[in-house]
Structure 1
């Protein structure tokens, strides 16, 4: 049976959302959420990245990151999965409480339950790529193996 998650406030799996209030340190900076980190990396090395890092909420970071008036880095499609993997791994290494929740899911499939995102979630038809769920499951495997 699969475990579905979406909203950051959903108990007990809201911590799987990139909007959950679990900060992390990556690239020598503190990021309020994994969403802040992910969106900022679309503009790595520019002033836009720092604006996103300093956004008051994860929703605002997402809005800024999705603004196509900003110059998206050329290699984004190639690197976005690795960026997400790094953010998710750092988040769960940083916070023992949510690491325990992730590990307690055993071998269950994790599915981002969104009808609007066919890439990161299950999508409208339920046949989406579920890349966030897959990255969480890969992170879970790495944590079990003692990866740091």
Structure 2
């Protein structure tokens, strides 16, 4: 139980809250897809999987089991049977480890994650949890949240570092704790935008099923033509499933963090360096058909915005955003 001195109270109307990963600020969650990590050359789909793996430096096979899961929730569930074998100092180091995981998530997904954090302005960031008052805060009533909100406070500190101490984020050192290992390897420093740690092409192993071992780990670009080339041995229905899974597991979570404000196609493409303009238009059209994205045309410019965000912006605010974006007089 958290002590009273640790508890914070928040007014929901004055905060940025997150619970579901597909909400406007859902990318702040450790469960959010679309923020892949690479530690010591090992691909990890989410910060949740990395955090859970860090419980077990002395059990590399358990770490591999956790990392191999397609879903962050499944990764968390796979760790549960081994919780009583967590590193002996877990309760003392877990906040440090969470902070380290968030910093790795930031430096390896700089454009999308820093933009999302900065979009919170100066408001308190709170994980709106239904049961965890340590990492998040619980609803006391319709307006009030109460809890330690450790995750939210770490995210707020990270936001401050982006604004005022960006040099601290050029290099993320391994934690100075004993046995900081991943899969039998001592964890090394991670550098912002280090392409030796992250391939130029976006590798999406989260879309693979284990029975397709022959393509696991290949340099699978999200471009449909490369999907066809790399998965030529798969039945056609599985190729389509592969493409659909990329859209649901990667494209939509990325758009959730990018399209908080009306955005033009050129700026969206900056977050998808290996995607062609034609492919991105297809993804955006599909997102519009599924009700995730709205399209607005303004003076021969096409703007894309999350439908959930647009509902919160009245016409006057939207016009202001558009004018600011295109410097219209």
Is TM > 0.5 for Structure 1 vs Structure 2?
Answer: yes
Describe the shift of the 1:117–1:9 C-alpha distance in structure 2 as closer, same or farther (beyond 3 A): same
Unaligned runs of 5+ in 2: 1-13, 170-329
Listed one character per residue, the Cα deviations across residues 32-66 of structure 1 (whole Å, up to 9, x for unaligned) are 10000011111123111111011121011110122
Q: Does 1:128 align with 2:140?
A: no
1:5-24 paired onto structure 2 within 5 Å: 5-10=18-23, 12-21=24-33, 22-24=35-37
Higher relative contact order (CA 8 A, sep 6+): 1
RMSD across aligned positions (CA): 1.6
In the alignment of these two chains, the number of paired residues is 147
Q: Give the whole-Å Cα distance in 1 for the aligned partners of 2:22 and 2:75.
A: 18
Which residue of 53, 78, 81 corresponds with 1:64? 78
- Judge conservation of contact 1:48–1:70 (CA < 8 Å) in 2: no
Q: Give the whole-Å Cα distance in 2 for the aligned partners of 1:56 and 1:82.
A: 25
1:23-34 paired onto structure 2 within 5 Å: 23-34=36-47
1:1-148 paired onto structure 2 within 5 Å: 1-10=14-23, 12-21=24-33, 22-46=35-59, 47-68=61-82, 71-95=85-109, 96-125=111-140, 126-144=145-163, 145-146=165-166, 147-148=168-169
Q: Give the whole-Å Cα distance in 1 for the aligned partners of 2:79 and 2:97.
A: 14
Higher-Rg member (1/2): 2
Residue 68 of structure 1, CA deviation: 4.3
Normalising by structure 1, report the TM-score: 0.91
Q: Could you say which structure has the higher strand fraction?
A: 2
Unaligned runs of 5+ in 1: none
Secondary structure at the counterpart of residue 30 of structure 2: coil
Listed one character per residue, the Cα deviations across residues 102-141 of structure 1 (whole Å, up to 9, x for unaligned) are 1121211000001210110003543210011011111111
